């Protein structure tokens, strides 16, 4: 499941899908930016959007973070200046990162494992 909603809508989506998230890999692309001012994050300095998502699903699903450093317009061709996009992937589950990496690679982009959600 690709979670492509504003960060502040994540809790609502997790509650709406409830048990339907069990056993899934959630690919969180949200950015916790305050869109009213564009000058701060909406997460605490000790956390991230994906860590908050993982906390919300409480182990029922695995969470990976990717694509949030890539502009949407570049995702359509998957390249910039003829070069494949690098897609940074973070997660606490190796299995989740492998699934997301495989999808990235099938799209012609280069998956790069950058470690844990933290």
Band (pLDDT 50/70/90 cuts) for residue 72 is confident
- Number of separate domains in the chain: 1
Buried b / exposed e across 68-103, counting CB within 10 Å, b at 16+?
Answer: bebeeeeeeebeeeeeebebbbbbbbeebbbbbbeb
- Identify which has the larger pLDDT, 97 or 36: 97
Band (pLDDT 50/70/90 cuts) for residue 14 is very high
- Identify which has the larger pLDDT, 35 or 99: 99
- Specify the pLDDT at position 6: 86
| CATH number, position 85 | 3.40.50.720
Q: Which domain holds residue 50?
A: 2-115
pLDDT > 90 fraction of the chain, expressed in percent and rounded: 62
């Amino acid at each position: 499941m690709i979670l492509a909603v504003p960060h502040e809508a994540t809790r609502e989506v997790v509650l709406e899908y409830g048990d339907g998230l069990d056993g899934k890999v959630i690919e969180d692309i949200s950015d916790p930016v305050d869109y009213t001012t564009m000058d701060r994050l909406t997460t605490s300095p000790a956390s991230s959007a994906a860590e908050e998502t993982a906390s919300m699903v409480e182990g029922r699903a695995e969470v990976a973070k990717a694509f949030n450093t890539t502009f949407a317009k570049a995702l359509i061709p998957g390249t910039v200046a003829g070069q494949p996009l690098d897609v940074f992937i973070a997660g606490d589950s190796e299995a989740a990162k492998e699934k997301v990496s495989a999808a990235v690679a099938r799209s012609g982009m280069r998956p790069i494992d950058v470690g844990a959600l933290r």
